[in-house]
């Protein structure tokens, strides 16, 4: 834990220095063929649908924006890049590094929902090894469970601990099995090295179809209103209110096209699936149709209570020493301005 905390302190110092350097050295956004080029961190997950569809369906272009995708394989690298204005927009998880960066004066803003669980259709949740449903009927039965998670001090551990709390248990009552990739968690469970996993779609559906996993509790029971990921603006990009509003308009139009196709109806579903199969790691239409879809709010609002709970979790684990003012981190103004143009989406 001390090593993790030291790394976070070093990260914050570096991000302050780099932020000052890049804000002086770069204008942040260039113009190409009359369009503002916005660099967006990208990890090819299905929950990137709002950005992907905003781009591929021409919504960003209508706002005078061209998207430049910057691929990342690590959330830590994404956070560093957006903290130092190397990218303007990112859809990432809320981790301890975010709050520590804010406490060091880095002006990252959480501006829109980037992925949440839909009640009854959670895309990020605890799944059991097939055949263990009878053993782990209730939360109190989790005592002694071996749970595969990507890392400690993360949203994976947060979800596990919220479930444990429902049974009057703590992390001391279970064993965490650290597996640094979600696909490898399936292997860990299949090989008998874990009884459960905090897993993400479509890997849960895949695990169920392969006879490795079985569904367990609805995460809305134990982790209600949690933000799995959020849309973030870099400190520099957040200062350009007009461009930030235009980006949000294009983003919400992409999110609404996604909702029309998967959540509230089946409008242009084949077309939307084809686009997403060509741009995300889910490359088969039948998987999109069978998996629990990521929830993306068509009105964009960040689940603020979830952000507050996240910070409490990281503080309780000693990863955040000073409480950041969440009101200064969550900025709903871009969504509000976009909704003046688009109107409220009728769910």
198 and 237 assigned to the same domain? no
347 lies in some domain: no
Q: Count structural domains, the chain.
A: 2
28 and 95 assigned to the same domain? yes
233 and 113 assigned to the same domain? yes
Residue 2 in this model has a pLDDT that exceeds 50: no
**CATH number of the domain within which 329 lies:** 3.40.190.10
pLDDT, one tens digit per residue, over 117-148 is 999 999 999 999 999 999 999 999 999 999 99
Identify the pLDDT of residue 28. Answer: 64
pLDDT, one tens digit per residue, over 36-85 is 999 999 988 899 999 999 999 999 999 999 999 999 877 778 888 999 99
Domain termination site, one of 182, 200, 222:
222
Neighbour tally for 318: CB within 10 Å: 13
Residue 5 in this model has a pLDDT that exceeds 90: no
Q: What is the mean pLDDT of the segment spanning 201-228?
A: 95
Domain termination site, one of 222, 246, 276:
222
Sign of CA dihedral 42, 48, 54, 60: negative
What is the CA 10 to chain-centroid distance, rounded? Answer: 24
Residue 325 in this model has a pLDDT that exceeds 90: yes
259 and 334 assigned to the same domain? yes
Selected residue with higher pLDDT from 181 and 243: 243
pLDDT, one tens digit per residue, over 153-165 is 889 999 999 999 9
Identify the pLDDT of residue 93. Answer: 87
Task: Tell me the residue range of the domain where 244 lies.
Answer: 2-117+227-342
Please report, for the chain, how many H helices and E strands are present, in that order: 16, 11
Domain termination site, one of 222, 247, 264:
222
27 and 76 assigned to the same domain? yes
131 and 145 assigned to the same domain? yes
- Edge-to-edge strands of the sheet including 124-129? 175-178, 146-149, 196-200, 124-129, 213-214
Taking a C-beta distance cutoff of 8 angstroms, is the pair 64, 36 a contact? yes
215 and 240 assigned to the same domain? no
The DSSP secondary structure of 56-106, one letter per residue, reads HTTHHHHTTEEEEEEE-S-HHHHHHHHHTTSSSEEEE---HHHHHHHHTT-
pLDDT, one tens digit per residue, over 215-254 is 999 999 999 999 999 999 999 999 999 999 999 999 999 9
The answer to whether the pTM exceeds 0.85 is: yes
257 lies in some domain: yes
Residue 18 in this model has a pLDDT that exceeds 80: no
Identify the pLDDT of residue 324. Answer: 93
Where does the pLDDT of residue 15 fall: very low under 50, low under 70, confident under 90, or very high at 90 and above? very low
233 and 327 assigned to the same domain? yes
218 and 231 assigned to the same domain? no
Identify the pLDDT of residue 23. Answer: 40
243 and 290 assigned to the same domain? yes
């Amino acid at each position: 834990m001390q090593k993790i905390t030291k790394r976070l302190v070093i990260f914050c110092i570096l991000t302050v220095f780099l932020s000052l350097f890049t804000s002086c050295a770069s204008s942040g956004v260039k113009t190409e063929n009359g369009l503002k080029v916005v660099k967006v961190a990208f990890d090819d997950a299905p929950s990137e649908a709002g950005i992907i569809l905003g781009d591929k369906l021409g919504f960003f272009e209508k706002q005078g924006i061209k998207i430049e995708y910057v691929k990342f394989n690590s959330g830590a690298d994404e956070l560093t890049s957006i903290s130092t204005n190397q990218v303007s927009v990112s859809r990432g998880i809320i981790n301890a590094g975010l709050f520590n960066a804010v406490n060091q004066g880095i002006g990252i803003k959480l501006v829109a929902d980037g992925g949440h669980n839909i009640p009854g259709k959670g895309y990020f949740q605890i799944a059991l090894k097939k055949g263990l449903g009878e053993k782990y009927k209730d939360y109190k039965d989790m005592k002694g469970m071996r749970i595969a998670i990507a890392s400690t001090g993360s949203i994976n551990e947060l979800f596990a601990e919220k479930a444990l709390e429902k049974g009057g248990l703590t992390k001391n009552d279970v064993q965490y099995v650290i597996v640094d990739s979600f696909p490898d968690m399936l292997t860990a469970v299949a090989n008998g090295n874990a009884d459960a996993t905090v897993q993400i779609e479509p890997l849960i559906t895949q695990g169920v179809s392969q006879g490795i996993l079985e569904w367990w509790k609805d995460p809305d029971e134990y982790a209600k209103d949690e933000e799995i990921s959020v849309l973030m603006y870099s400190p520099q990009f957040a200062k350009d209110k007009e461009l930030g509003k235009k980006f949000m308009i294009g983003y919400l139009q992409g999110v609404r096209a996604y909702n029309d196709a998967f959540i509230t109806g089946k409008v242009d579903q084949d077309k939307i699936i084809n686009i997403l199969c060509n741009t995300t790691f889910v490359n088969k239409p039948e998987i999109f149709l069978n998996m629990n879809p990521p929830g993306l709010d068509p009105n964009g609002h960040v689940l603020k209570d979830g952000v507050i709970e996240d910070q409490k979790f990281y503080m309780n684990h000693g990863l955040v020493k000073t409480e950041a003012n969440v009101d200064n981190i969550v900025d709903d103004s871009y969504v509000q301005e976009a909704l003046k143009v688009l109107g409220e989406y009728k769910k």
